[in-house]
Amino acid sequence: MNKPLFHFALAVLVAIALPVLVPSKTLCSEVLIFAIAVAGCNLLLGYTGLLSFGQGIFFGLGSYTLGLTLLHSSLPLVVALALASIVGGLVAVVIGGLAIRRQGVYFVMLTLALAQLFYFLAYSLSGITGGDNGLLGIPRPGVGPFDLNGALAFYVFTAIVFLLIFAALQRVVVSTFGRTLLAIRDNGERAQAIGFPVRLFKIVAFAISGAVTGLAGGLHAALIGIAPLSSIDYHLSESVLIMTVIGGTGNLFGSVLGAGFYVIVSSVLSAIWPRWMLLLGALLIALTLFMQKGLWGLIEAAVSRIRDGGPRRSRSAIRPARGEKP
Amino acid sequence: MIYLSQIVNGIGLGMLYFLLAVGLSIIFGLLHFVNFAHGAFYLLGAYLCYALLQHGIDFWWAITLAGLIVAAFAALVEAGLLRRIYRLDHMYHIVATIGLALMIQEFVIIVWGPVGASVSTPPALVGVVMLGNFIYPEYRIFVVGFTAVLALVLWWLLEGTRLGAIVRAGSESSDSISLLGYDIKRINTAVFALGAGLAALAGGLATPIRGLDPFMGVEALAIAFVVVVIGGMGSFTGALIAGLLVGIVQSLMATIWPEGASLAVYIAMVVVVLVMPRGLLGRA
């Protein structure tokens, strides 16, 4: 159940099944794009114990970078995406370096305030970002001989990028580096005492998360052809965080589930009832009360019940409650 | 001269930010609970005040009732829901209160619609005052005076009364408060309601200045966070100084570079974090 190869196989399965099950190929692309961003958030929250409210910064900057690159040059799409990723990663080093100066709840509040800073920055610098309107009319060049203008063609491209990123993140979390992040998550002071450079590791985790999220932002701008102001706002940071928690923290495939659930359900519900977020709010409260391990936790519990005929404590990434030190 | 007038404006704004942030701050101090619904209480207070005014209720009663209704609602939420999740990790506090904030925001949109509104200044405070050479709206002077009185009352409540002593002791160790025989659950509920009521009051007072819209809660939450990051959580004086600083920076920038006024607030925060990582008063 926890073998990386098995999880990768599940990710491949999702990438193949999505366009078969979901009629809108644009929606399919959106699911996988957010799955990338959510996996990036999960690396911080689930594996490093850092609740970042600033993922929208990297997503938005990725969108703007891709938009500006493709609008003002004839560089290929892959280069533009790489630039989006680099900008996301570099800014994440700065944001991470600043935010980890404060710990715990101060860290969370600081990331939220920094997200607001970048939102207002994008809003104020309307000469570059298009301000309220965003960057409009971003072209979508093909890759080599392949034309990506069709929705399905772009989905295939997105799916390939998604699988590459998924596999890369899997490598990161099983590496010594990834294991050390878990040690930092579970007890930062102990990891520090053992001699790990905790701050550096946290900043590197931020850099990877920012690069991955920036890439997702770039893909999103290429998908919708604009880089809107809403790609860098509070709501985006909040949605990515919500998807991460709904999917289940500390498990990369959980992020795919969280993104899929949120993107598809929000698309269906918002068409029926514009005030669907009322239900989302209720779901989040129910989640904290009854299913703290998210969708992946539900699946794990179901599988172990079938396998063992009874519930079993899973190895999922729930941190110990306040008061009971590990 | 224009700058001087903006500084006075900033003090009014800053006192509202103080009111908003001090509630968040005392809730965290006692409950160690990050309340992401704090901005939503501010939003709800603003809309309730607006609705009561629409029904012809006097401004004084409207802000008082709005504060009390939100405090009562917050007490119910604390006793019915939040109490159950204190033992969980901060992440769950944040997720649950984000959920609560979303529900309040959507409720506001369902009842009052997605488009904002403006609120007229209470008739008794419509006039202007001449301060030296410049004209100054009476309402803003009123806000400064009113919030200053409130701040004094609050300070007395926290520093000079038995309840305040219990709350401060509880911030140090809630177990010892329980051992002394105080009902910590009721104290928690009372403090949570007080914090939410203060946010609602700030919302009500802010409406004649900034108008209303269903997304003002998010903005308020972010500002409250900036104030406590700068001033330190659980610190009354910190919230006051940081609130005023943020208000003055924002008002001054509004004349220098209007588009960048909000931006400047966050840049000021980054500067403080870089120069004084522990915040202005250094308790963290």
Residue B257: the pLDDT is 84
Q: In this model, does residue A109 exceed pLDDT 80?
A: yes
Question: Mean pLDDT across the stretch A283-292?
Answer: 92
Residue B1: the pLDDT is 66
Work out the minimum CA distance from A244 to partner chain B, whole angstroms.
Answer: 11
Please name the residue of chain B whose CA is at the shortest distance from the CA of residue A122: B263
User: Measured between CB atoms, does A43 come within 8 Å of chain B?
Assistant: no
How far is A276 from B283, CA to CA, in rounded Å? 41
Checking phi first, is residue B234 left (phi over 0); if not, alpha (psi -120 to 50) or beta?
left
The per-residue pLDDT of chain B, averaged, comes to 88
CA distances from A7 to A2, A11, A12, A162 (A): 7, 6, 9, 13
User: Measured between CB atoms, does B246 come within 8 Å of chain A?
Assistant: no
User: Measured between CB atoms, does A282 come within 8 Å of chain B?
Assistant: yes
Q: Which of B91, B99, B225 sits opposite A285 (nearest CB)?
A: B99
* Residues on chain B touching A113 (C-beta within 8 angstroms): 222, 225-226, 229, 266, 269
Q: Which of A105, A120, A277 sits opposite B102 (nearest CB)?
A: A277
Q: What are phi and psi of A51, to 5 degrees?
A: -85, 100
Work out the minimum CA distance from B91 to partner chain A, whole angstroms.
Answer: 7
Digit-coded pLDDT (tens) for A201-225: 999 999 999 999 999 999 999 999 9
User: Measured between CB atoms, does B101 come within 8 Å of chain A?
Assistant: yes
User: Measured between CB atoms, does A128 come within 8 Å of chain B?
Assistant: no
Work out the minimum CA distance from A106 to partner chain B, whole angstroms.
Answer: 6
The domain B2-275: what is its CATH number? 1.10.3470
How far is B122 from B146, CA to CA, in rounded Å? 14
CB A277 within 8 A of CB B98: no
Q: Are strands B134-137 and B128-131 parallel, antiparallel or unpaired?
A: antiparallel
Q: Which ranges of chain B have pLDDT less than 70?
A: 1, 282-284
How far is B69 from B193, CA to CA, in rounded Å? 10
Residue A310 binned pLDDT confidence (cut-offs 50, 70, 90): low
Q: In this model, does residue A326 exceed pLDDT 50?
A: no
**Secondary structure of B10-76 as H, E, C letters:** HHHHHHHHHHHHHHHHHHHHHHCCCCCCHHHHHHHHHHHHHHHHHCCCCHHHHHHHHHHHHHHHHHH
Extract the tokens encoding A205.
């985790």
Cβ within 8 Å, pair B284-A102: yes
Q: Which residue has the tokens 């052809």?
A: A225
* Inter-chain contacts counted by CB atoms under 8 A, chains A and B: 131
Residues 138 through 197 of chain B touching chain A, CB cutoff 8 Å = none
Question: Mean pLDDT across the stretch A56-79?
Answer: 96
User: Measured between CB atoms, does A238 come within 8 Å of chain B?
Assistant: yes
Q: Which of A121, A249, A282 sits opposite B103 (nearest CB)?
A: A282
**Residue B183 burial (CB count, 10 A):** 11
ipTM: 0.89
Residue A66: the pLDDT is 97
A118 vs A319, which has greater pLDDT? A118
* Residues on chain B touching A101 (C-beta within 8 angstroms): 273-274, 277
Enumerate the H helices of chain B as residue ranges: 2-31, 38-54, 59-80, 90-112, 138-160, 162-172, 174-179, 184-210, 216-231, 236-256, 261-275
A307 vs A242, which has greater pLDDT? A242
Q: A252-272 and A25-48 helices cross at what angle (nearest 10)? A: 130
Residue A287: the pLDDT is 92
One-character DSSP codes across A223-244: HHS-B-GGGGSHHHHHHHHHHH
What residues does B131 pair with on adjacent strands?
Answer: B134
Please name the residue of chain B whose CA is at the shortest distance from the CA of residue A280: B99
Q: In this model, does residue A260 exceed pLDDT 80?
A: yes
Q: Which of A106, A126, A245 sits opposite B229 (nearest CB)?
A: A106
Cβ within 8 Å, pair A109-B218: no
CB B216 within 8 A of CB B46: yes
User: Measured between CB atoms, does B85 come within 8 Å of chain A?
Assistant: yes
Query: Which run of H or of E encompasses B130?
Result: strand B128-131
Q: In this model, does residue A325 exceed pLDDT 50?
A: no
**Gyration radius from chain A CA atoms:** 19
Q: Which of B85, B109, B229 sits opposite A113 (nearest CB)?
A: B229
Nearest CA to A265 out of A30, A19, A9, A43 is that of A30
User: Measured between CB atoms, does B281 come within 8 Å of chain A?
Assistant: no
**Three-state SS at B88:** coil
Cβ within 8 Å, pair B90-A104: yes
CB A90 within 8 A of CB A214: no
Please name the residue of chain B whose CA is at the shortest distance from the CA of residue A112: B222
Residue B87: the pLDDT is 86
A4-275 topology per CATH: ABC transporter involved in vitamin B12 uptake, BtuC (1.10.3470)
> Tell me, what DSSP letter sits at residue B128?
E
* Residues on chain A touching B99 (C-beta within 8 angstroms): 280-285, 287-288
* Residues on chain B touching A275 (C-beta within 8 angstroms): 106, 109-110
Nearest CA to B147 out of B220, B210, B204 is that of B204
